[in-house]
Amino acid sequence: MKNRIAETLQQALRDLYQIEWQVDPSIMQKTKKEFEGDFTLVVFPFVKAARKAPDVVATELGNYFAERTGCEFNVVKGFLNLSFPDKVWTDFLRLNRCRQDYGYTQPAADEPVTLIEYSSPNTNKPLHLGHIRNNLLGDSVSRILTACGRKVVKVNLVNDRGIHICKSMLAWKRFGNGETPETSGMKGDHLVGKYYVEFDKHYKAEIAELVEKGMAKEEAEKKAPLMLEAQEMLRKWEANDPEVRALWEQMNGWVYDGFDATYKRLGISFDKIYYESQTYLLGKSLVEEGLQKGAFYRHEDGSVRVDLRDKGLDEKVLLRKDGTSVYMTQDLGTAQLRYEEYHPQKMIYVVGNEQNYHFDVLKLVIGDKLGKEFGKSIYHLSYGMVELPNGKMKSREGTVVDADDLMEEMVFQAQEKTSELGKDFAGENVQDLYEMIGLGALKYFILKVDPKKNMLFNPEESIDFNGNTGPFLQYTHARIRSLLRKAADNGIDYSETTEMALGKAEKILIKAIYEFQEVVQTAGSSMSPALIANYAFDLAKEFNRFYQETPIFKEEDCGKRNLRLQISELTALVIKNAMALLGIRVPEKM
């Protein structure tokens, strides 16, 4: 419909004012509720070229639209409000009622790749609440971009090497007594995380002992025997020491099995997984290339650095003085490898806002210092931190809110809440329904918040069946599907309707459904699932108001009844498609 308006407007500008104008969609807006109209055109951009007052231009354009489209119009200063005949909206309804992919766009055959990295866990601990926001955001943005017609490749970079990994390995070697996931009954990632915490506990004890003997705390942190041994283990790993490598492969294998189980339950998947252990050497070669070009320099302590002070930043270490790599090293190598494999038009990194500086440096090092063209394709999708009502999470202290525990708790809360409400979900699929509700509540509550904002995750509030929550939307979908089953059970064929005038509630709901297409595109361009979530909530509220105020089965006019069933059917489809973009399943019964 907006395309039709844009085409008519461009022709009107030619015919009335001899203006050639490429219409910007931003001049077409949804009419505000206090005014009469479906769409509002802002005419101020053409006023100067037309050499007429804004209200005159708006009136002339309104008459042009009325003659050619049959719409009605009113003018408020420089704003032209257009109201289209009911037939336009009922035709839209009939055209899209059975389109299962309504709101989605198929990618063109020559569409270049958009690559998106998310999750990026460390193999020294299980996934936690912060990872959940990362995973849900990355997965949802991938779905939304795909729905916008992009060709998306979802990737994960596993940080499987480095000093933090060696800490877990060393603690297990020292204190583990051969414990395995099988002997302990623990998921592999949880078991390895246990020893990461164990390292920190013994390390702090060693620091305290050295300080007590008169050593300064900062020096004690560097000279604590455990830390020195962990650093030596890292050097041995990079030197391909067979014993260290064997232990590393064994413990990482435990972690990967644990991660896979968490991803599966969360509904997360990847097209390709990269491993830091396989990319850091390529990163080292790029650092060497930069040294030879004079883009980087070797510091007097032996480390390799890049000077970015001319860009408003500072000096950044690219290789430590002992030759071991840092995060930046492997990110250089990974970016190069991805460019060679996919030639993406954009490389999106879903990483928390505490890494804003890191990505500023990465783009400058690749683009400005190394002169790589693909540096311009790097985009950091920065998001805020997640907190619980009782504060932040700290993995080294063992107080992390574990992703597996949180998902289990959400499913339990779903069962408890439905029992409180007196809902009896009998049947063999009842556990799957609790899973759907619990994880839907978790996903929706996190994704409805603008990614850039810090957020407080409140499990109890997220599972509420009223308000802006996943369960409310799931219940609305199930309610509509129940309504349609009732129609089928009563032998009602609502596939055909006659032309008729729309009631106010009917038109409002159809117009809300129409907006879904534009919301998807806007969410894609801004990479914000929150726009989808809050649109779906508004649509569900509008439907529930419509359902309360507009009779369906009690309506004596069969044509009106059938029209309202069609509106209900498309509403359910849009809710389902919107929730799918958030990675949330919706039930047929509830």
Report domain 2-84's class: alpha beta
What's the distance, CA 253 to chain centroid?
Answer: 28
Phi, psi angles (nearest 5°) of residue 339: -65, -45
Tell me whether strands 79-83 and 39-42 are parallel, antiparallel or unpaired.
Answer: antiparallel
Report domain 403-581's class: mainly alpha
Stretches in the chain below the pLDDT threshold 70: 390-400, 422-428
The answer to whether residues 362 and 331 touch, using CB atoms and an 8 Å cutoff, is yes
The answer to whether residues 103 and 148 touch, using CB atoms and an 8 Å cutoff, is no
Cβ neighbours for 228, distance < 8 A, ≥ 6 positions apart: none
Whole-number Å distance between alpha carbons of 511 and 339? 43
Q: If you ran DSSP here, which 8-state letter would residue 148 be given?
A: B
The answer to whether residues 124 and 355 touch, using CB atoms and an 8 Å cutoff, is no
Q: Where in the chain is the domain with CATH 3.30.1360.70?
A: 2-84
Half-sphere exposure for 355 (CA within 13 Å, toward CB): 16
Minimal CA–CA distance to 163: which of 95, 248, 76, 86?
248
The answer to whether residues 572 and 547 touch, using CB atoms and an 8 Å cutoff, is no
The burial class, CB within 10 Å (0-12 / 13-18 / 19+), for 499 is exposed
Number of H helices, E strands in the chain: 22, 14
Whole-number Å distance between alpha carbons of 234 and 230? 6
DSSP string, 188-211: HHHHHHHHHHHHHHHHHHHHHHHH
Tokens of 457: 């995750």
pLDDT 10s digits, 307-338: 999 999 999 999 988 888 888 998 999 999 99
pLDDT 10s digits, 370-421: 999 999 999 999 999 988 776 444 444 445 688 999 999 999 999 988 877 7
Per DSSP, helices labelled H in 267-355 are 276-293, 327-342
Query: Can you give the pLDDT at residue 399?
Result: 56
- Rounded to a whole number of angstroms, the distance between the first and last alpha carbons of the chain is 35
Phi, psi angles (nearest 5°) of residue 366: -70, -50
Residue recorded with tokens 């999708």: 381
Residue 466's H or E segment, with its range, is none
Residue recorded with tokens 């400058």: 364
Taken as a whole, the chain contains a residue count of 590
Query: Can you give the pLDDT at residue 326?
Result: 86
Query: Can you give the pLDDT at residue 377?
Result: 95
Whole-number Å distance between alpha carbons of 447 and 116? 17
Half-sphere exposure for 97 (CA within 13 Å, toward CB): 19
Q: Where in the chain is the domain with CATH 3.40.50.620?
A: 118-397
Tokens of 400: 């992390």
Per DSSP, the three-state class of 42 is strand
The answer to whether residues 318 and 284 touch, using CB atoms and an 8 Å cutoff, is no
Phi, psi angles (nearest 5°) of residue 479: -65, -45
Q: Where in the chain is the domain with CATH 1.10.730.10?
A: 403-581
Q: What is the largest CA-CA distance in the chain?
A: 93
Per DSSP, the three-state class of 119 is coil
The burial class, CB within 10 Å (0-12 / 13-18 / 19+), for 132 is buried
Tokens of 297: 């320099």
Q: What is the CATH number of domain 118-397?
A: 3.40.50.620
Whole-number Å distance between alpha carbons of 116 and 110? 19
